[in-house]
Structure 1
Amino acid sequence: MLQTYIFPMETRAHWDNTYTTKSDTQVSWYQPVPERSLALITSAAPDPSAAIIDVGGGASRLVDALLAEYYADITVLDVSEVALGRSRERLGDAAEKITWITADITRWQPQRTWDVLHDRAVFHFLTDKTAQDAYVAALMAATKAGSTIIIATFALDGPERCSGLPVQRYSAETLAARLGPDFSLYAASKETHPTPFGTTQQFSYAAFRRRS
């Protein structure tokens, strides 16, 4: 299933250009196997009927890993149609099992809720309060009491820029403070991510449960 929403053209153009000029294995955030994200998701939602959405999933291999774990209700959201197209092409016929949403989360109005919302490296690109508030509003609309929210950002000692854009770095605690009291932090860890270029980046992972 394909869904498309309205979003700022400059945002879409930036990320479409990124995936047009680079393969999905040449971007710094590429992971052949997203082990930490998958472990957090399967721990939070061991039942394969759980509804899972990957925000900023683009060309990520997380959707492949979720399919391999037999999850049956998977949604991937990304602002770049080019990135989503890469994943659909890679998955072949299995892509029909996934709901694909082309949207900027800061302008997205979800039509349902999910049991697990995962985001690896979208929120840290939102550097102004208005965009961050819009993200949190979408987070509230896309989840319900008891839902799990897993967010990975650059850590406090991580890069200050990515893909030519400034980022906001977080610890699990500062991210919890920014999301607000509706989300209870229950797990936190750091990861040294090896890029395809032989460098490393420090990521902070945080898992929350929505209180109400």
Structure 2
Amino acid sequence: MSDGRSDHWERVYVTKEEAEVSWYQDAPAISLEMIERAGVSRDAAIVDIGSGASNLVDALLDRGFTDLTVLDLSKIALHVSGKRLGAAAERVHWIAADITEWRPERHYSLWHDRATFHFLTDLQDRAAYLTALKAAVPAGGWAMLATFALDGPEKCSGPPVVRYSPVTLAECLGGEFTLLNQRHHLHTTPGGARQSFQFSLFRRGSRSD
């Protein structure tokens, strides 16, 4: 299944510019807001899961964050991001991997995922994703996940998705993660369509709890 996913997303990035894909946004405003709400320091380790060629990494570098990891299934998408950043790309850790097969080698203070988890329609794939998340985020760490909301699209760029509310997403993560902030967002695609997203910010049981 991993090879099929990889082939699909490589084709997407071969045939479309980043500003043409449906999830493109000029500025990752809500993601940045959620990261600021988490209050992590500028030297905190942040991992962006399923980043594609998103400009979130650019925005975080501009804001002084110094320990950034970007992970995506598509090597082409990562190349696009690195080329866009130029010399600044050397300040980022780049990982080409399927999140359902990735085994984190370190901890991260904050896990960011805008629109990756909802593509995992297979129960085993979701379980593998959550295993990686829980290995990466220690007690006191943060996880921000954005997915299509319950009234969002049923498919995206071809593949089907699973739609979530903050409550059903919290149920997936389990009781060790507490939902601390949520936002509904109507995203306008480059083609003018409106897509309903939900953004949820969780904290894993604090060391002081």
Superposition TM-score, scaled by structure 2 size: 0.96
Does residue 78 (structure 1) correspond to residue 63 (structure 2)? The answer is no
CA shift digits 1:168-199 (9 cap, x unpaired): 00000010011111211111110000100011
Match of 2:200 in 1: 206
Match of 2:160 in 1: 166
How far the C-alpha of 1:10 sits from its partner, in A, is 1.5
Does residue 121 (structure 1) correspond to residue 115 (structure 2)? The answer is yes
Distance in 1, matches of 2:176 and 2:159, equals 29
Match of 2:143 in 1: 149
How far the C-alpha of 1:139 sits from its partner, in A, is 0.4
CA shift digits 1:65-101 (9 cap, x unpaired): 0001010000000000000010001000000000000
1:46/1:144 CA distance change after superposition, 3 Å: closer
CA shift digits 1:118-157 (9 cap, x unpaired): 0000000001211111111000111100101000000000
CA RMSD in angstroms comes to: 1.0
How far the C-alpha of 1:32 sits from its partner, in A, is 1.0
Percent identity reads 51
Distance in 2, matches of 1:75 and 1:43, equals 20
Q: Where does structure 2 lack aligned partners over 5 or more consecutive residues?
A: none
Distance in 2, matches of 1:130 and 1:47, equals 34
Distance in 1, matches of 2:36 and 2:30, equals 10
For residue 82 of structure 1, what is the amino acid of its counterpart?
A: I
Q: Where does structure 1 lack aligned partners over 5 or more consecutive residues?
A: 1-6
Q: 2:49 aligns with which of 47, 55, 66?
A: 55
Q: 2:82 aligns with which of 83, 88, 97?
A: 88
How far the C-alpha of 1:45 sits from its partner, in A, is 3.1
> Which of 175-184 and 160-169 deviates more?
175-184
Does residue 190 (structure 1) correspond to residue 177 (structure 2)? The answer is no
Does residue 177 (structure 1) correspond to residue 171 (structure 2)? The answer is yes
Decide whether the 8 Å contact of 1:28 with 1:197 is kept in 2.
Answer: yes
Decide whether the 8 Å contact of 2:40 with 2:109 is kept in 1.
Answer: no
CA shift digits 1:41-62 (9 cap, x unpaired): 1221342111111001120010
Tell me the SS of whatever aligns to 1:17. Answer: helix
